[in-house]
Structure 1
Amino acid sequence: MTQSFGLSATARAALLQRLSRRKGGEEASEAPPESPGRDLATLPGLRDIEMVREAGEALGLESPYFRPHEGVAGARTVIGGREFLNFASYNYLGLNGDPRIAAAAKAAIDRHGVSASASRLASGERPVHGELEAALAEQYGTEACLCLVSGHATNVTVIGHLMGARDLVLHDQLIHNSAAEGARLSGARRIAFPHNDWRAAERELAAQRRRHGRALIVIEGHYSMDGDVPDLARFAEMARRHDALLMVDEAHALGVLGATGRGSFEHCGVAPGAVDIWMGTLSKTLSGCGGYIAGRRPLIDLLRHAAPGFVYSVGMAPPLAAASLESLRVMQAEPWRTARLQANAALFLRLAREAGFDTGASAGLGIVPVILGSSVAAARMAAALFEGGINVQPILFPVVPERSARLRFFLSAEHTEDEIARTAAALAAAREGLAGARVA
C-alpha cells in the first residue's frame, strides 16, 4: 500500500492523531453544517488537500506553492524581496522579459487594446492572429494553424471534438491531464500504454483497431515530468501502418529539442508531415499564453468553425499573440539560445548524476528531475534549497507515485555554468544536512 506523504503507517497514524487533537477544540465553535447538497466542505478531493496542508504544517514545512514573484521569473527571480536562482519557470530561452518581446506586446496594445473582446468568429480577426498562425504553420511545415486562448483547453476541445463514441484514443500513460480530459470528453474508448513503450502501444492498437472507427495516438514530444523523449519515428510508422492519426504535444519541445529548437521532429530526424496533428503551447518558449494546432487545412478549417473551445471562447489577447510571434522570430534568428539551454541542461544532468542523484530517464535537454523517493524528502529538500536561495518545485504524491516524488529542475539559456555548479553542490549539501538531522 502507498504510504501517504512518505510516512510509515505508524507515523501517519501518529500524525493524524496530532492533527485531530489540534482541530478538536475548533469544531465546537464552527457554525452548524450545511445540508449535504449544499455543503461545499464535502466536495470530492477537498479533504485530501486540507490533509496535505495540515501534514505540512505539522512537519514544519512551509507550502512551496503560489509564491508571488516580484519581477520577471527567468533564471533568477525575486520572492519576498530576496533574489533566488530559479528553476521553476518554463522560460527556456530567456525570452520572457526580452525588450524586443515586450515592445511587440506594447505595440499591439497601442494598436488593438488589451483584449479581443469576443470570439474571433463573432468579433473578427486581428492581423496579428493570422500572422502568428502563418508563422507557426511554416515552423511545422503544415498547411494551416489555429491558436486558442488556453493550452489546456486546446487539448480538451480538439480531442473532445474530433473523436467520438465509436473511436479509439491510445495515449502514453504519462500524457498531460489536458489530453486525458479531452479523450474522456470525447466518449471514445481510451487506452493508456506504458510510458514511451511503442511496442506495447502497437500491440494495443493492432488488437483494437478494427473494432473502432477512427483511432488517435497521442504522445508528447518532451515529457515535462521526466524530461525524456519518445521514438517519434516508430510512432509515426505505427500510425501509418494501422490507419491511425498521430498527435504530438510539443508544449515542452518547441525551442528545447533539435539543433535549432524546432522541436521533436528535428530532434528525431522525422519529417514534420509524418505527424497529423501538432499541438503546442505559447506560454513557455514563446512568452505568451494559449495553445495551437498545426496540421492539414481540412482539420484546421473544421476546428476554426466548430471546435467549442475556439468558437465559444474569446479570441487570444492581441498583445499575447504579438509576444509569441516575436518570440518565435527571435528563436529562429538566434539558435544559440537553444544550444545554450541544451548545454546547461546536459551540465546539470551530469553533475547531479555524479553526485549520486537519480535523474530517471531525462535526456538533459531542458528538464531534469531529481527523484528522491518520498514526498516528505522532496518537500524537505525543496525547503532547504529555498532557504539557501534556490527556487525549485517539489512534485509530490498524488501527482506522481509516492516512490517517485521529486524535485523538477527547468533549465534556462540564461543560467550560467557557475550557477548550475553551485546548485548541484547545494543539492548534495542539502542531502547531507537532512541526513544528519535525521541521525541527530
Structure 2
Amino acid sequence: MSRGQGFGLSNAARLALVQRLARRREGQEVQAASDQRGFGAIQGLRDWGLMQEAMGALAIESPFFRAHEGRAGAHSLIGNRDTINFGSYDYLGLNGDPRLHQAAASAMARYGISASASRLVSGERPVHGELERRLAAHYGQQAALAFVSGHATNVTVIGHLMGPRDVIVHDAAIHNSCVEGAKLSGARRVSFPHNDMRAAEREMAAVRRSAGRALLLVEGHYSMDGDVPDLAALVRIARKHDAWLMVDDAHGLGCVGATGKGVFEAAGIDPAEVDIWMGTLSKTLCAAGGYIAARGDLIDWMRHTVPGFVYSVGLSPPLAAAAAAAMDILAAEPWRVAKLQANATLFRDLCREHGFDTGASFGLGIVPVVLGSSVRAVRVSAALLDHGVNALPIVFPAVPEKLARLRFFLSAEHSEQDVRQAVAALVAATDGVAPADLAG
C-alpha cells in the first residue's frame, strides 16, 4: 500500500479501526430506526460521529476552532502562548491598522453598528456606495454590489443568474460556494481538470451545441494550491464560445500582481474583459462580506432581485467603511504586496529545499505542504503548535486522502525570521511524525 492511503495506517491497524467503526455504525442504525424524533437518521450526522470515533481511537485531538486570545495576525496568542500564525487571511497585515479602526469607528458613530434591515427596505448608507464605487473602479467595471457574506455571494448570484437550461463549465478545484451556487441554479455542471485550458475549451465546445446560456467559472488564486489560471486563455475561450466569464478572485486581491490588484494585473489583461468579478471583503480588506463587480445593468438587476441581497440585512456600515479604507491603503502602499510575495516565495522555496511537496504554489500568499495522509497532517499540525507555529490541516474529504496537507497563509507582517523559524519547526515536527509512526 502506498503512503497516504488508509489514513497512513498499517493493515492491522486499519482492520481493527474498521471493525470498531462497523460495530458503532450497526448500533447507530438500530438507534436511528427506533428514534422517531431524534436526528440519528441524518447520514451526515452519523458519518460525523464515526469520524469522531476514529479520531478518539487514534488519540487525535481536533486541530480546528483553536481559541485565539487576541488579534490573529502574523503572530497570535493561543493557549496564552505567542505563536507564529499562518492561519489568517490578513495578507497585507491591515487587520490591526489604526486607519481601518478609525474608519470603522467613525462609521459606527454616525450610522450605528447594523444597517438594520435590507438596503432595499432600510435605505442606503453613503459608506455602501463609496465602497462599491471603489470596487467597480478597481475592476474596470461600471458598478459593484456588496453582500454580507462571501460564501453567500457566490451561492445567491450563481444560483440566480443561471437556470436549468444553462450550463456552467468550471475548474475542478473551484470553491465550495461556487459549487453550491451552481447546484442551486439547476444548470448543468461540467468540470475540467484543474488549470487545464485545453480541457476547458474542449468541454465548453462540447456543451455549447445544446445549452442555452453558458458560464465559465474559475478562481483567480486557488486557495488550496496557491496557483493562478491562464486568464488570457480563459478570456479567449469565453469569447470564442459566447460564454460569460466569472472569476472568483477572493484570494487574488492583495496577493496577485505586482501591486496586488489581482489576477488581471498579473496576466496583463484589461479587467473589463472579464464579465463578472467576485471577491470577498474578509481577506485583504479585513472586513466581512462579498461583492460582485460587473456591467451596470447586471448590477442594477441584482440589486432588485438577487435573494441574498434583497432578503438579507445590508452590510454593516463599520465594515463597509473599513473595507473602503483598506482599498485606499492597498493602492497607496504597494510595498505591502512586495513583502507578502517575498515572504511567500521564501517560505515555498525553503520548504522545497527541505524536500517538502508544495504543489504548484506560485509563492504569492498561499503555500500548501502536502503530507500524504489525513492522520499525518493532523498530527504534524499538533506538533507544529508545540513548536510555536499555527498552521491548519486540510484533510479528506476536502482533498483526496493522498493529498492531505497543511496550508500556510503568509502575511506582509511576517518577518524573515518568522518564515525561517516556521520552516525549521516544520522539519522538526515532521521528523517527529514519520509515516511509520501512524498506527497510533
Category of TM-score, reference length = shorter chain: over 0.9
Q: Distance in 2 between matches of 1:238 and 1:162?
A: 20
Question: Is the Cα contact below 8 Å between 2:32 and 2:39 reproduced in 1?
Answer: no
Q: 1:337 and 2:339 equivalent?
A: no
User: Mapping of 1:52-201 within 5 angstroms?
Assistant: 52-201=51-200
Return the letter of the residue paired with 1:12: R
- Do the aligned partners of residues 34 and 125 (structure 1) sit closer, same or farther apart at CA in structure 2, a change above 3 Å counting? farther
Question: Is the Cα contact below 8 Å between 1:5 and 1:397 reproduced in 2?
Answer: no
User: Mapping of 1:210-225 within 5 angstroms?
Assistant: 210-225=209-224
Query: What root-mean-square deviation, in Å, do the aligned CA atoms of Structure 1 and Structure 2 show?
Result: 2.2
How far off its partner does 1:33 sit?
A: 6.1
Q: Distance in 2 between matches of 1:75 and 1:417?
A: 12
Partner SS, residue 90 of structure 2: coil
What residue is the counterpart of 1:433 in the other structure? 432
User: Mapping of 1:271-310 within 5 angstroms?
Assistant: 271-310=270-309
Partner SS, residue 278 of structure 1: strand
Partner SS, residue 406 of structure 2: strand
Q: Distance in 2 between matches of 1:439 and 1:237?
A: 48
Q: Distance in 2 between matches of 1:149 and 1:324?
A: 12
Unaligned runs of 5+ in 2: none
Q: Distance in 1 between matches of 2:288 and 2:36?
A: 37
More off after superposition, 222-231 vs 75-84: 75-84
Partner SS, residue 310 of structure 1: helix
What residue is the counterpart of 1:14 in the other structure? 16
What residue is the counterpart of 2:204 in the other structure? 205
Question: Is the Cα contact below 8 Å between 1:69 and 1:79 reproduced in 2?
Answer: yes
Unaligned runs of 5+ in 1: none
- Do the aligned partners of residues 125 and 75 (structure 1) sit closer, same or farther apart at CA in structure 2, a change above 3 Å counting? same
Partner SS, residue 314 of structure 2: coil
TM-score by length of 2: 0.95
What residue is the counterpart of 1:315 in the other structure? 314
Question: Is the Cα contact below 8 Å between 1:19 and 1:58 reproduced in 2?
Answer: no
More off after superposition, 378-387 vs 59-68: 59-68
Q: Distance in 1 between matches of 2:201 and 2:417?
A: 45
Question: Is the Cα contact below 8 Å between 2:249 and 2:279 reproduced in 1?
Answer: yes
What is the aligned length? 435
Question: Is the Cα contact below 8 Å between 2:351 and 2:423 reproduced in 1?
Answer: yes
How far off its partner does 1:221 sit?
A: 0.1
Q: Distance in 1 between matches of 2:10 and 2:178?
A: 34
Question: Is the Cα contact below 8 Å between 1:71 and 1:77 reproduced in 2?
Answer: yes
Return the letter of the residue paired with 1:270: I
Partner SS, residue 278 of structure 2: strand
Return the letter of the residue paired with 1:184: K
Partner SS, residue 223 of structure 1: coil
Question: Is the Cα contact below 8 Å between 2:167 and 2:187 reproduced in 1?
Answer: yes
Question: Is the Cα contact below 8 Å between 1:6 and 1:402 reproduced in 2?
Answer: no
Q: Distance in 2 between matches of 1:150 and 1:35?
A: 39
Return the letter of the residue paired with 2:182: A
The C-alpha deviation readout for 1:205-242, integer Å capped at 9, x for no partner, is: 11110201110000000000000000000000110111
Question: Is the Cα contact below 8 Å between 1:160 and 1:183 reproduced in 2?
Answer: yes
Partner SS, residue 77 of structure 1: strand
User: Mapping of 1:214-293 within 5 angstroms?
Assistant: 214-293=213-292
Q: Distance in 1 between matches of 2:352 and 2:215?
A: 37
The C-alpha deviation readout for 1:257-282, integer Å capped at 9, x for no partner, is: 01111000001111101100000000
Q: Distance in 2 between matches of 1:203 and 1:18?
A: 46
Q: Distance in 2 between matches of 1:265 and 1:412?
A: 21
- Do the aligned partners of residues 162 and 425 (structure 1) sit closer, same or farther apart at CA in structure 2, a change above 3 Å counting? same
Question: Is the Cα contact below 8 Å between 2:9 and 2:438 reproduced in 1?
Answer: no
How far off its partner does 1:141 sit?
A: 1.0
